[in-house]
Amino acid sequence: MPSSYSSDLKLEIMTTGEKAGQWGTITNTNLNILAQASSGVLSKTMVATAPYDTALAVSDGATSEGKNLYIKLAGTLGANSTVTMAAAGARVFILEDTTNRTTAEFTINVLTSGSGTSVPLAPGSTSLFYSDGTNTTLGAILQKGTITINSASTTAYTAVNGDQVLVSTTSNAVTITLPASPSTGDEVTVMDISATGGFASNNCTVARNGQPIQGAASNFTMNVNNQSITFMYTDATKGWLLKSTNQ
């Protein structure tokens, strides 16, 4: 019987009597793969041209990018982008976002290759993901990041779970749309950082995106200078509640 490969890290599983004279080399490769999975760090520059899909390979019997535990995403995004993990077995991995998303506030979605669901990566965050080989799940946000919305260039932004949105309305009013299809415990923070004017002069509207805010089917207006609110999703009845506010 020839060698086979494990479903998760694609380690080469040798059969007795096979691979004569190659056991040392194959074993060393397997150990290097295990080192990647337990402590490997990869700096990966995002693809800057269409179709903007950055793939992380999980190859049979070899070290490969997708086997690293910690992956640091870098580069300048040219459009909404996807990080695709190969459809192998179950995997846990950490993504750190250090990309420049430019003034367009492009998104990064994390996907397991195939028909699985994708999960957004909050700007500037460090997040733990789990893949069962088909679907990707956000396990935890280890370190929240921030995204700055300057109304001189951007007046609308759709937030993702874990976002800390710093908003300047010095030039214009801004609308921040809460995430679609939220889960209980999801959080979004919106904060006024306007150098002049601010939310009292140009309001920041927090759009509910189909879910209630404090039990009401209406958007929420932030209209106090230096205001900061963390919205936390509870359920379909109460929707987003104000977890914390400085006003």
Q: Tens of pLDDT along the chain (247 residues)?
A: 578 988 888 988 888 778 777 888 999 999 999 999 999 999 999 998 888 889 999 999 999 999 999 999 999 998 999 999 888 888 899 999 999 987 778 999 999 986 678 899 999 999 999 988 888 999 999 999 999 999 999 999 999 999 999 999 999 999 999 999 999 999 999 999 999 989 999 999 999 999 999 999 999 999 999 999 999 999 999 999 999 888 7
Give yes or no for a contact between 44 and 56, defined as CB atoms under 8 angstroms apart. yes
pLDDT for position 20 = 79
184 class by beta-carbon count within 10 Å (0-12 exposed, 13-18 middle, 19+ buried) = exposed
pLDDT for position 114 = 66
> What are the residue boundaries of the structural domains of the chain, listed by start?
32-145, 146-247
Q: Distance between CA atoms of 93 and 209, rounded to whole angstroms?
A: 30
246 class by beta-carbon count within 10 Å (0-12 exposed, 13-18 middle, 19+ buried) = exposed
Structure tokens at 156: 């609308």
pLDDT for position 213 = 98
**Phi and psi dihedrals of 162, rounded to 5?**
95, -5
pLDDT for position 41 = 97
Determine how many CB atoms are found less than 10 A away from the CB of residue 140.
11
pLDDT for position 121 = 96
For residue 222, what are the contacts with CB-CB under 8 A and spacing of at least 6? 190, 192, 199, 203, 204, 205, 206, 229
pLDDT for position 63 = 94
pLDDT for position 16 = 79
pLDDT for position 1 = 59
Long-range contacts at 205-209 (CB < 8 A, ≥ 24 apart): 205/173, 205/174, 205/175, 205/176, 206/175, 206/176, 206/177, 206/178, 206/231, 207/175, 207/176, 207/177, 207/178, 208/178, 208/239, 208/240, 209/158, 209/177, 209/178, 209/179, 209/180
Give yes or no for a contact between 111 and 82, defined as CB atoms under 8 angstroms apart. yes
The domain at 146-247 falls in which architecture?
Sandwich (2.60)
Long-range contacts at 173-177 (CB < 8 A, ≥ 24 apart): 173/202, 173/203, 173/204, 173/205, 174/149, 174/202, 174/204, 174/205, 175/204, 175/205, 175/206, 175/207, 176/149, 176/204, 176/205, 176/206, 176/207, 177/206, 177/207, 177/209
Q: Distance between CA atoms of 159 and 44, rounded to whole angstroms?
A: 24
